[in-house]
Copies of this chain bind each other. A is one copy, B any other.
């Protein structure tokens, strides 16, 4: 088992290892303030696989399991309210604990529910996808979507602990593994050349615990510099400025990881063609294709601009983009809207 401390205002531990779900109850017992009851929030994919294991582990706590329909399309205020009402009906108090058992969607919703239930209570993340393990389990971002846009309402709310049982990745299909790989390649591209080399290898999954741990460390280093996402943390948006737009343009037929893969390639190409970097996009294309990820779409510049400028990160007519100087290092640049248009056009294949 690996353990990483995240030193936010209220520090917490990220534990990574096979079989950790079985230890959930004992680990909750180890919290400084023990909860009286536990609300386990999961979804219709993950619940049938792991809820029983979780309940067995929680047998010494009063607890219940609430299962939401799986899928990003259910990450809505309505599902959030249903979760919150279930908590009230089970007489959960703010001294109790929420456990988010699932991928990013469950983590986002259960985390947000715990941020606002009785004005805030603790929650534990149990990511069951590679993507949520390397991405969503550090950073404290929780949210649900509105019809007007993704993640439009939410809270910054740090978990009390993250339990990453890497055995759960064994039930993921290859496309979901690839989604995780896209975010890992992103972390590698902006911060860790060695990790990039590891990901280039055929057998990159052979020590998945180590890879998850390294990604948590990378994400931590950016998040701790900037807990509220105003500066350095924007570096983590590499591939996302265009990727989010591509994801929305595709009406979410592309997964987040697939869209980020396309976004990284386009953003690197754009920066190179505008003379902002000497890094070529070839290495990225090679590694992403080997993981089964797309690296181009047939969206036009207009398509991308339309969705990119809707994004909530746009402020006062300028867009911050992440420019990879070389594999393992990146910087931020602010582009006015005219320049951003050139950038998007330059990113097309």
Contacts and interface: CB of A to CB of B under 8 A. Distances in A.
- Give this chain's copy count: 2
Contact of A118 (B88, B142, B152): B152
B119 A154 contact: yes
Contact of A155 (B116, B143, B147): B116
A88 B152 CA distance: 8
Contact of A93 (B117, B148, B228, B314): B314
Interface string A301-332: 00000000000101110000000000000000
A81 B77 contact: yes
Given A119-B143, A143-B119, A153 B84 contact: yes
Contacts of A214: none
A30 interface: no
Contacts of A314: 93
Interface of A is mostly: mixed
A315 B156 CA distance: 26
Interface of A: 36, 77, 81, 84-85, 88-89, 93-95, 112, 115-120, 141-143, 146-149, 152-156, 228-229, 312, 314-316
Given A88-B149, A94-B312, A118-B153, 19 more contacts: A81-B146, A84-B146, A84-B153, A85-B148, A88-B146, A88-B148, A89-B148, A93-B314, A93-B315, A95-B316, A115-B155, A116-B155, A118-B312, A119-B143, A119-B153, A119-B155, A119-B156, A119-B229, A120-B156
